[in-house]
Amino acid sequence: MTATAAPPQAVAPAEPPVHKASLRKRLVPYWLLLPGILWLLVFFVLPMLYQASTSVQTGSLEEGFKVTWHFQTYWDALTEYYPQFLRSLLYAATATVLCLLLGYPLAYLIAFKAGRWRNLLLVLVIAPFFTSFLIRTLAWKTILADGGPVVDVLNTLHVLDVTSWLGMTEGERVLATPLAVVCGLTYNFLPFMILPLYTSLERIDTRLHEAAGDLYARPSTTFRKVTFPLSMPGVVSGTLLTFIPASGDYVNAELLGSTDTRMIGNVIQSQYLRILDYPTAAALSFILMAIVLIMVTVYIRRAGTEDLV
Amino acid sequence: MTDKTAGGDVRLAGISKHYGSFTAVHPLDLTIPQGSFFALLGASGCGKTTTLRMIAGLEEPSTGTVSLGDREVTQLPPYKRPVNTVFQSYALFPHLNIYENVAFGLRRRGIKSVKKQVEDMLELVELGQFAQRKPHQLSGGQQQRVAVARALINHPQVLLLDEPLGALDLKLRRQMQLELKRIQTEVGITFVHVTHDQEEAMTMADTVAVMNGGRVEQLGAPADLYENPKTTFVANFLGTSNLIEAEVLEAGAADVTVGSAGATLRLPAARCSTTPKAGGKLLVGVRPEKISLVHADEEDTVAAGRNKIRGTIAASSFIGVSTQFVIDSPVCPELEVYVQNIERDARLAPGAEVVLHWNPEHTFGLDAAQDIDAGIETVEEGA
Amino acid sequence: MRWLRRNLVVIAGLGTLAYMILPNLVVTVFSFNNPTGRFNYAWQEFSLDAWKDPCGVADMCGSLALSLQLALWATIGATVLGTAIAFALVRYRFRARGAVNSLIFLPMAMPEIVMAASLLALFLNMGIQLGFWTILIAHVMFCLSFVVAAVKARVLSMDPRLEEAARDLYAGPVQTFVRVTLPIAAPGIAAGALLSFALSFDDFIITNFNSGNTVTFPMFVWGSAQRGTPVQINVIGTAMFVIAVLVVLAGQMVGNRRKNAQPK
């Protein structure tokens, strides 16, 4: 046998040829990253810096704006527009809770009860996406129209009495009230809640339900102790995907609400595009970003999951 | 790609692999003769797969060279080496059917008419009727055969097999071992087989290299490795060994006499992997099936000249063809003894006093400076 | 009563589904309306006028064509850039991985209006004319992260041994990529591209900030909500819905037939 094993104490043969991965090979990932990352740096990070600088500028449109480190803008913006901030967070939170309450049964139905209808139901969930969301939001103007069938039914059932007692509606109207705005927000972001919920529910082994039943858990207990905890990743990413865009939305408030339902998005939009008070607009959007990021971070810590999206 | 002329050996010279500060393979010299069935055997993480991947070109060695015959291929990328691999878990292309999977290598080399070759190859592995199926529609054993066909169709100089049977159940594994051996004899290509299963390595290979901690511990024919282990790792990893710590009483030219806890044992000097010196220590080993067992009352029936040890039966388990005993003895706790079930002695039950005896020729000696338990715990752990 | 309790989930789920589908029904029904005023919010009488002349409203079909064009280019751009990033993230070890991952994640974790406003700040400061190109830049930017997420998921689940096997079987780097990597990663890339197209086509907030005088289809709808909503908007909405549903159903049928043709 010509084969020999190197003795255990053997050192490498004299002057061994040492091979190193070529420079070209090591640069491959950087070449792949370069264009996309550059795009994000120039059109996502750089704009943030510009906005930061804008937010501490003073001046006017005619004379031009200059960086004067005028942090007062932030304080002024916050004191002047805190009702809109609070309203945005309240509407977004309400819509998120409603999305969860409405979306969970549907996600559960598709994941566990739909059988051969599963694919059809999934298509129906994403189908609304196929029509421009602005057109669909406008349709709510028809649905919630004064004196229309929906409002009539709610009125007859005295639902509107309750909601107006809660300050969500006024008189016999739904349109142009907070209820209409929240209803629109809920509608627009429901698919973003249902899809992550469905994904995490679908992963649950149905034998776990049987095991829980076998271990003397009643259906409601099984849900509380087994199904819901296992669906937490879906709940977390669903609520984030709903809350974050809803908090900055101004479309629903503009189309379905009134001047009394203006959200912070409406303020930023009009400051930037109509009033042209750029420093205030920039400060407002930074405050919104900070609030959302802080809330999201705290929420993720609390929910104890790092699994996002 | 076929080069069946002499000198088609695989030669590894000073080859090693580091990942940062971790050394997966220590500098290693190895020659694998053309046409042999060579096995790299070891527990997971011993460097056997890394060695294989360096031959394939999938891993660049940190030092050293790889040669096929007279040609050095160290710098050649895998697609330019006349070497093919059967991957662990097969790595069949999921988007191509079986026919296209097998034809893949031929097509990449620009061969237009592949039909005849592919059909012949599918016949060889008995999968002719599955040509249009997708890989996920085949069973594990069938997928494994496709992987072999896909590699062999290129007539490589060397076929590398990375734990090819690891995902199969025991019965199918036995069947595929014979099948692979048949194919190897039929095509006459060098097979380099990586496995952690010592039985698989011993049944299939002509030569086995036992690897441990990035080094080759011992290399040889299966029977040779089994009978003459040179290290405690090999003694324990291949089958089971009883290792007794003993003191050398007399080191003659032909025979060595050692003593342990009052017992005196003899062994041939030629079977010692180290040079014993009188007064020094030696590990004395004997395989469980070489030992005979008699009840203490019949000690006088043991022929003179045999190695003898007294002990007590601690446990016995009946497994059909044989009975396995664990014996407690002052010489060594937990000695294992396998006795063929020819005539069973009812007195040999736990608690009974017994005498163990065996032919001194069946004893081997190892360097006492080693870890006596090396290779034991890793035996049953798969990759 | 017991039946009701047992099927509570089904009833609640279908209720939600009805809530989600209702606006689409309204859009469809009102595409056959013949409203008296400028707004198409109240039912008057059945009419096929809008369907007979879908482009009868000034500028609407132009804006639709513009949106399709934008979505197409944004999809191509985001898919190419995003796929490259996804491959780099999954297949290579390099410095600053964490930073790259956060940079990809941040645009998805930020209210759209913040990105919209800051991009406008950039364009205003640099004196760039708002229009087609600024919209395209913005769309590629926010679609990029979604493509990376979709492709990454697919490439992560792909066995790296497949590419090794290809290289072992005489396929060079280019051949390996074209014959093995790309076909296997294709579903992820397609999902990312479809998502990009949908996001870009339907985007309003970022476009609203960065379009200048250019009018995309969502911008047209927004404007008409102030000036008056032509029935043709509903015609386009309905047609889009029907076409998309047909495409999805056809895709599923092809998929099913393929599955049935290859018994397990």
pLDDT digits (tens, 9 = 90+) for B330-341: 888 889 999 998
B122-173: per-residue pLDDT in tens?
988 888 899 999 999 999 889 999 999 999 999 999 999 999 888 788 888 8
Q: Is A268 helix (H, G, I), strand (E, B) or coil?
A: helix
Q: Which residues of A touch B26 (CB under 8 A)?
A: 6, 8, 10
Minimum-distance CB partner of B108 among C162, C175, C183: C175
- Asked if C155 is an interface residue toward chain B (Cβ–Cβ < 8 A), one would say no
DSSP letter assigned to residue A169:
-
- CA atoms lying within 13 Å on the CB side of residue B251: 16
- CA atoms lying within 13 Å on the CB side of residue A123: 17
Residue B277: per-residue pLDDT: 86
What's the CA gap between B132 and B139, in Å, rounded? Answer: 15
CB contact under 8 A, A134 and C221: yes
Is the pLDDT score of A307 beyond 70? no
What's the CA gap between B199 and B41, in Å, rounded? Answer: 10
Instruction: Give me the mean pLDDT over the B193-220 stretch.
Output: 92
Which of A26-30, B363-367, C93-97, C137-141 reaches the highest mean pLDDT? Answer: C137-141
CB contact under 8 A, B33 and A21: no
For chain C, the DSSP string reads -HHHHHTHHHHHHHHHHHHHHHHHHHHHHHTTB--SSS---S---B--HHHH-TT-STTHHHHHHHHHHHHHHHHHHHHHHHHHHHHHHHH---TTHHHHHHHHHGGGGS-HHHHHHHHHHHHHHTTPPPSHHHHHHHHHHHHHHHHHHHHHHHHHTS-HHHHHHHHHTT--HHHHIIIIIHHHHHHHHHHHHHHHHHHHHT--HHHHHH-TT---HHHHHHHHHHH---HHHHHHHHHHHHHHHHHHHHHHHHHHHHHHHS--
Residue B377: per-residue pLDDT: 59
Is the pLDDT score of B15 beyond 90? yes
Sheet of B10-19: strand order equals B22-32, B10-19, B63-68, B71-72
Minimum-distance CB partner of C94 among A30, A50, A309: A30
A59-69: per-residue pLDDT in tens?
877 777 888 88
| Confidence band of A183 (pLDDT split at 50, 70, 90) | very high
- Asked if C251 is an interface residue toward chain A (Cβ–Cβ < 8 A), one would say no
CB contact under 8 A, A37 and C100: yes
Helices (H), chain B: 48-56, 98-108, 115-124, 140-152, 170-187, 198-204, 222-227, 232-237
Is the pLDDT score of B243 beyond 60? yes
Structural domains for chain C? 1-57+233-264 (no CATH), 60-229 (1.10.3720.10)
Instruction: Give me the mean pLDDT over the B249-258 stretch.
Output: 89
b/e sequence B106-124, b meaning 16+ C-beta within 10 Å: bbbeeeeebeebbeebbeb
Is the pLDDT score of C14 beyond 50? yes
Share of chain A above pLDDT 70, in %: 91
CATH class given for the domain over B10-227? alpha beta
Hey, CA dihedral for A236, A239, A242, A247, is it positive or negative?
negative
Q: How far is A28 from chain B (nearest CA, A)?
A: 17
Inter-chain CB pairs, B–C, below 8 Å? 69
C81-114: per-residue pLDDT in tens?
999 999 999 888 888 888 999 999 889 889 999 9
* Residue C220 CB burial class (10 angstroms; 0-12, 13-18, ≥19): buried
What's the CA gap between B277 and B261, in Å, rounded? Answer: 19
Q: How far is A167 from chain C (nearest CA, A)?
A: 23
Between strands B71-72 and B63-68, the pairing is antiparallel
Closest alpha carbon within chain A to C199: A129
- Asked if A14 is an interface residue toward chain B (Cβ–Cβ < 8 A), one would say no
Closest alpha carbon within chain B to A8: B215
For B190-248, the DSSP string reads EEEEEES-HHHHHHH-SEEEEEETTEEEEEE-HHHHHHS-SSHHHHHHSS--EEEEEEE
| Confidence band of C181 (pLDDT split at 50, 70, 90) | very high
Is the pLDDT score of A11 beyond 60? no
Q: How far is B82 from chain A (nearest CA, A)?
A: 21
CATH class given for the domain over B240-366? mainly beta
Q: Where are the beta strands (DSSP E) in B221-343?
A: 242-251, 255-260, 263-268, 281-286, 292-295, 307-318, 322-328, 335-340
Is the pLDDT score of C258 beyond 80? no
Q: Which residues have CB under 8 Å from A210's CB, separation 6+?
A: none
DSSP letter assigned to residue B36:
-
> Which pTM does this prediction carry?
0.80
Is the pLDDT score of B3 beyond 50? no
Domain A88-255, classified CATH 1.10.3720.10, yes or no = yes
Give Rg (Cα) of chain C.
23
Q: How far is A184 from chain B (nearest CA, A)?
A: 44
Is the pLDDT score of B382 beyond 50? no
Residue B231: per-residue pLDDT: 92
**Domain boundaries, given as residue ranges, for chain B:** 10-227, 240-366
Is the pLDDT score of A100 beyond 50? yes
Is the pLDDT score of A23 beyond 80? no
Q: Which residues have CB under 8 Å from B20's CB, separation 6+?
A: none
φ and ψ at residue C188, rounded to 5 degrees: -65, -45
- Asked if A23 is an interface residue toward chain B (Cβ–Cβ < 8 A), one would say no
What's the CA gap between C150 and C186, in Å, rounded? Answer: 11
Share of chain C above pLDDT 90, in %: 62
Is the pLDDT score of C264 beyond 80? no
Q: Which residues of A touch C249 (CB under 8 A)?
A: 123
Instruction: Give me the mean pLDDT over the B354-364 stretch.
Output: 93
- CA atoms lying within 13 Å on the CB side of residue A229: 7
Is the pLDDT score of C198 beyond 80? yes
Minimum-distance CB partner of B79 among C161, C167, C184: C167
b/e sequence A151-168, b meaning 16+ C-beta within 10 Å: beebbeeeebeebbeeeb
> Which of B 30-89 lie inside 8 A of A, CB atoms?
30-33, 60-65, 74-75
Residue B5: per-residue pLDDT: 45
Q: How far is A65 from chain C (nearest CA, A)?
A: 10
Share of chain B above pLDDT 90, in %: 58
Q: Is A88 helix (H, G, I), strand (E, B) or coil?
A: helix
Q: Is B177 helix (H, G, I), strand (E, B) or coil?
A: helix
Least confident among A193-197, B236-240, C166-170, C246-250: C246-250
Q: Which residues of A touch B54 (CB under 8 A)?
A: none
CB C141 within 8 A of CB A43: yes
Do the domains B240-366 and B10-227 match in fold? no
> Which of A 66-85 lie inside 8 A of C, CB atoms?
none
φ and ψ at residue C43, rounded to 5 degrees: -75, 130
- Asked if B216 is an interface residue toward chain A (Cβ–Cβ < 8 A), one would say yes
CB contact under 8 A, A6 and B209: no
CB B159 within 8 A of CB B191: yes
Nearest 5°: CA angle at C198, between C234 and A182?
Answer: 65
Instruction: Give me the mean pLDDT over the A101-106 stretch.
Output: 95
CB contact under 8 A, A6 and B216: yes
- Asked if A28 is an interface residue toward chain B (Cβ–Cβ < 8 A), one would say no
Q: Which residues of C touch A106 (CB under 8 A)?
A: 12-14, 16-17
Minimum-distance CB partner of B78 among C167, C180, C262: C167
Instruction: Give me the mean pLDDT over the C246-256 stretch.
Output: 79
What's the CA gap between B247 and A205, in Å, rounded? Answer: 61
Which residues face B353 on adjacent strands? Answer: B312
Q: Which residues have CB under 8 Å from B98's CB, separation 6+?
A: B122, B127, B130, B131, B132, B133, B134, B135, B138, B146
Residue C260: per-residue pLDDT: 59
Residue B353: per-residue pLDDT: 92
Please state, rounded to an integer, the average pLDDT across all residues of chain A.
Answer: 85
Q: How far is A7 from chain B (nearest CA, A)?
A: 8
C107-140: per-residue pLDDT in tens?
988 999 999 999 999 998 888 999 999 999 999 9
Inter-chain CB pairs, A–C, below 8 Å? 249
Residue A297: per-residue pLDDT: 87
What's the CA gap between C10 and A108, in Å, rounded? Answer: 9
Q: Which residues of A touch B8 (CB under 8 A)?
A: none
For B337-368, the DSSP string reads EEEESSS--TT-STT-EEEEEE-GGG-EEE-T
Instruction: Give me the mean pLDDT over the A193-200 stretch.
Output: 93
